[in-house]
Amino acid sequence: MRFKQIGIILETDARTIMENIRCQPSSLTRPDGSATFYEGDTTVVAAVYGPTEVKLSKEQIDKATVEVTFKPKQGLPGCAEKAKESMIRSTCESALLCMLHPRTAVNIVLQEMQDSGSLLSCCINAACQALMNAGVSMRFVVAAVSCVLDSEDQIVLFPELKQEQDAKAKMTFVFASNSNNVVLATSSGIISPKLFQKCLITSQEAGTKTFELYRDWLSKQN
Amino acid sequence: MAAQFKRIQLDAYYSKYLQRGRRPDGRALDAFRKTILNVGSIRTADGSALVRLGNTTVVCGVKAELAAPRPDAPTKGYVVPNVELPAMCGPDFRPGPPAELAQVTSQLMLDVVRHSGCVSEERLCVADGELVWVLYCDVVCLAYDGNLADACVVALLAALTNTRLPAVTLDDETKRERVDADVRVPLDVLSYPVATSFAVVDERVLLADPNAEEESLATAVVTVVTLESGQLCIVHKPGGSPIALEEMERCIELSLARAKQIRQLEKETRLSLER
């Protein structure tokens, strides 16, 4: 999805976002909560177990311990997977009301089904939907948006694999639903601060549209 | 009395100071600790640097080795950064497999090298498809008092700038390399990325260059890596409490200012060494 006017999302493109992002809640029967999240062709299945029993070594007396496991489609989990898990865990920890469930654990398991770009944002969105499906109390819900700056300095949201590889700079932002503030921001690649701000603002608007989508899905479920 | 209060309720102790716009160690909220840089002290390494950021002490040694290139990049050499947090650097670290902080910081170092283009991988190539330079950059933390990322990036770049590679030629007939250890060529460092980290305490207050105590209180940490051109190389806020867009802008502004200071420091250190 290209945005010719940097910083403002056109209505036609907003519709494109709505069409490409889909979610299948309760896709698994055994976990407390689950969701399959689709961003274009990228698919991630998330399962949540919790609040449940925690290992003594990981027990925290005042809040729940959030554990995230990310399983790549092929190969064994390595350093890059550990970094993803760490980011997803920090995001979910700030979103969940951990203080309500001391000395427990909330386990989030993410399985990559297909990676066609924007994987981190798909994982975080899937985790959030699974947490909502499990009914774990949250301070706010989160929307993750992937963004790249292509060779012509155009902003592309939710890029595909080829667009990601050819991009000058790759970014993922996560926004909170109550304040629209930035929960997570990772950017790699050389970019001017002005363009970075524009990408941030554009992603924030896309985040707002995603929250509207979430509300839509929830109302349809009930 | 104050010492007991600090021990029992660290967050309340800090709030009292932050309300007045100061930190317990006397710094302003956006002030950085004293930075000391020392290069070339390890004679057995091809390049080295020692950095002290307040009490955080980090040493980086660069060893250059010759190897066959990776099959997917036959004309490029490569840089392998590794960050170690041995048990001596602080009470929170035990001997054994690398702590998560060490792994995450190693990944950050790799991203900095890759995305800033500070070392040209093509120039590390000696003979296409056969022989390339591999730079093993080992960063060891000697004392940990917060803000590992900043100290490691400064140490890494200073060590790379200090690195001198021996002249190598590949004999076409015998296919054996000839290394002339006496002739040393300085490594070409094309850009100088500088990392600046901030901690968010109490979900509102932004503290630059957090020490270990402040990091333990932090609800979020932001790291910004900037280049001399004033452009951003990496922005890293791995989750934690949400911050407003204006706070993010402020982090970037402060990072650009701080980066100038660090580059000036590195330049002065290098010039004093040459004298």
Q: What is the DSSP string of A144-211?
A: EEEEEE-TTS-EEES--HHHHHH-SEEEEEEEETTT--EEEEEEEEEE-HHHHHHHHHHHHHHHHHHH
Q: Count other Cβ atoms within 10 Å, centred on residue B96.
A: 7
Q: pLDDT (tens digit, 9 = 90+) per residue, A11-61?
A: 556 666 667 889 999 999 999 999 999 998 999 999 999 899 999 999 999
**Which of B241, B251, B255 should be substituted to probe chain A, the one whose Cβ sees the most A Cβ atoms within 10 Å?**
B241
Chain B residues within 8 A of A80 when measuring between CB atoms:
107
Residue of A nearest to B226 (CA): A190
Collapsing DSSP to helix, strand or coil, B162 comes out as: helix
Beta bridge partners of B197: B223
Q: Which of B106, B109, B126 lies closest to B118 in space, CA to CA?
A: B109
Here the tokens at position B272 are 């004093």
pLDDT > 90 fraction of chain B, expressed in percent and rounded: 57
**Centroid of chain to Cα B13:** 31
Q: Distance (Å, rounded) from C-alpha B267 to C-alpha B147? A: 22
Residue of B nearest to A197 (CA): B249
Q: pLDDT (tens digit, 9 = 90+) per residue, B59-115?
A: 999 999 999 898 888 889 999 999 999 999 999 898 988 888 898 899 899 999 999
Q: pLDDT (tens digit, 9 = 90+) per residue, B37-50?
A: 999 889 899 999 99
Q: Distance (Å, rounded) from C-alpha A5 to C-alpha A28? A: 41
**Which of A96, A190, A192, A208 should be substituted to probe chain B, the one whose Cβ sees the most B Cβ atoms within 10 Å?**
A190
Q: Confirm if A35 and A129 have CB atoms less than 8 A apart.
A: yes
- Closest partner residue to B236 among A92, A183, A186, by Cβ? A186
Q: In this complex, do A182 and B248 lie within 8 Å of one another by their Cβ atoms?
A: yes
Chain B residues within 8 A of A181 when measuring between CB atoms:
242-245
Q: Distance (Å, rounded) from C-alpha A169 to C-alpha B53? A: 30
- Closest partner residue to A196 among B106, B235, B236, by Cβ? B235
Q: In this complex, do B239 and A91 lie within 8 Å of one another by their Cβ atoms?
A: yes
Q: In this complex, do A200 and B245 lie within 8 Å of one another by their Cβ atoms?
A: yes
Q: In this complex, do A179 and B244 lie within 8 Å of one another by their Cβ atoms?
A: yes
Secondary element (H or E) of residue B223? strand B218-226
pTM of structure = 0.89
